Amino acid sequence: MADAIDPVLLGGLILAGILMVARVARSLRDDAQWRAWERRRRAERRRGVDRRSAIRSLTAAAQSPVDREAAAHRAWSQRMAGGVEPSNRRPMPARPSSLSPAQAREPTPTDGPVTEQDRADVTAMMGAKGVGAALAWQLVQAERNIQALRTAVEAREPTPTDGPVTEQDRADVTAMMGAKGIGAALAWQLVQAERHIRAAAITVRYSLSGQREDGESHRAARAGRTVRRLATDPWTALDRLRAVPAERLVVFDTETTGLGERAEILEYALVALDGTVLSYSIVRPTARIQSGALAIHGITRQEANKHPRITEHADGLVGLMREKVVVAYNAEFDRRLLEQTFERYQLELPVLDWVCAMRAYQAFTGRYRAAKLERALEASGLDVTATHRAAADAEATRQLVCHLRKPHDAETPGS
């Protein structure tokens, strides 16, 4: 059996034959699909099926019968005037004269005799809309009623319901009148609507943060840790700032070694609302002063090493802040750094009542985003500069707080 075929070679030949047959079958199938697609495409071309004609058909179906009939007549007239022979041999549509008797009769105004102006307006409306005289008269009457109502609304003076008209109200109404081209009363309504929308957006945005903070406070209480009270909702912060007596408010500001979880307080200032400096000091930290923080406040390690640590000031500082309402611009940051610093040195910090002046200013102006202290001072017209040092920033925040309290307490000392 020396002439017998090797089984391995025979298997290879059979496999090659199977693969060749599969390739030929796949090629035949692709050719059949391509030919079928070509037949469909040629058939669609012969039938004149076009996407643009389908869109025109849908648009025509959405029109009213009268408008559709008038549009078809205008299209036919244009094509015949231009010498274009229509591709389809449908008969010419009838003119839009097959209107109902109610649409074909003369206008019968109910508010007086028909004038020449009435006839001119009706004729113009019939030409513009392609409708009968009666329907055109109804449209003319509707337009006149709308114009009369708009004139009556614009003639009224604004009647604000939330107090006397301020200069800001007048400026906003004037800007709205110029932007929209409307009267004073309608402009005042739009200004009020925009203010309500901004207020609602601010409330919704920060209600979630308040809920998250409440949840963290509850978890901290269950874990046995101290809970800090902090009013960060803009409207709550402004209400608290105005409701608390002036003698209970103290303004707190810090300069730190950085922004992270290991940062410490490097300088602090505590000022009463009448301008009295209750406590101020530079403290020697254990953390490294980061370059970004150094570029802002300029307190070097050599200068900080000349002062004691926070442990020597903790009791006096806590005694001044206890039973007070602590106000800070961006109070979330100052509160967190105070807690981090006290925890690093294992110092006890009691429950403190915080109010964020940045959120209160946000509610006061109706802004959606919070503003920096420098921007808030400039917009409020206060002649004071924030220099990114604790004493100067605390004084600037104090004057801003007095400005925010003016509608409530215009006789605040030192304001």
For 222-250, write each residue's pLDDT tens digit.
444 444 456 667 888 888 888 888 899 99
Q: Are 109 and 118 in contact (CB under 8 A)?
A: yes
Whole-number Cα distances in Å, 100 to 68, 92, 93, 95, 274: 15, 21, 17, 13, 83
Cβ within 8 Å of residue 180, ≥6 positions away: 186, 187, 190
pLDDT (0 to 100) of residue 320:
92
Q: In angstroms, rounded to a whole number, what is the distance separating the alpha carbons of residues 127 and 120?
A: 11
Q: In angstroms, rounded to a whole number, what is the distance separating the alpha carbons of residues 347 and 289?
A: 21
* Pair of tokens at residue 50: 């076009």
Secondary structure of residue 240 in the 3-state scheme: helix
Whole-number Cα distances in Å, 229 to 53, 210, 314, 353, 401: 68, 11, 19, 5, 19
pLDDT at residue 298 is higher than 80:
yes
Comparing 142-151, 233-242, 343-352, the range with the smallest average pLDDT is 142-151
The band of 364, judged by pLDDT with boundaries at 50, 70 and 90, is confident
Q: Are 247 and 273 in contact (CB under 8 A)?
A: yes
- Mean pLDDT along residues 386-390: 83
Q: Are 165 and 158 in contact (CB under 8 A)?
A: yes
pLDDT at residue 335 is higher than 50:
yes
Q: What is the mean pLDDT of the chain?
A: 75
Token match 């490097």: residue? 266
pLDDT at residue 8 is higher than 50:
yes
Q: Are 220 and 227 in contact (CB under 8 A)?
A: yes
* Pair of tokens at residue 342: 């006290």
Higher pLDDT, 264 or 138: 264
Q: In angstroms, rounded to a whole number, what is the distance separating the alpha carbons of residues 253 and 315?
A: 17
For 90-127, write each residue's pLDDT tens digit.
444 444 444 444 444 444 555 556 788 888 888 888 88
Delimit the domains of the chain by residue range.
103-155, 159-226, 228-404
The CATH number of domain 228-404, selected from 3.55.50.30, 3.30.420.10, 3.40.50.800, 3.30.9.10: 3.30.420.10
Q: Which of 307, 402, 335, 315 is nearest to 364 (CA)?
A: 402
Comparing 20-24, 234-238, 345-349, the range with the smallest average pLDDT is 234-238
pLDDT (0 to 100) of residue 316:
92
Q: In angstroms, rounded to a whole number, what is the distance separating the alpha carbons of residues 123 and 129?
A: 10
Q: In angstroms, rounded to a whole number, what is the distance separating the alpha carbons of residues 167 and 170?
A: 5
For 170-195, write each residue's pLDDT tens digit.
888 888 888 888 888 888 888 877 77
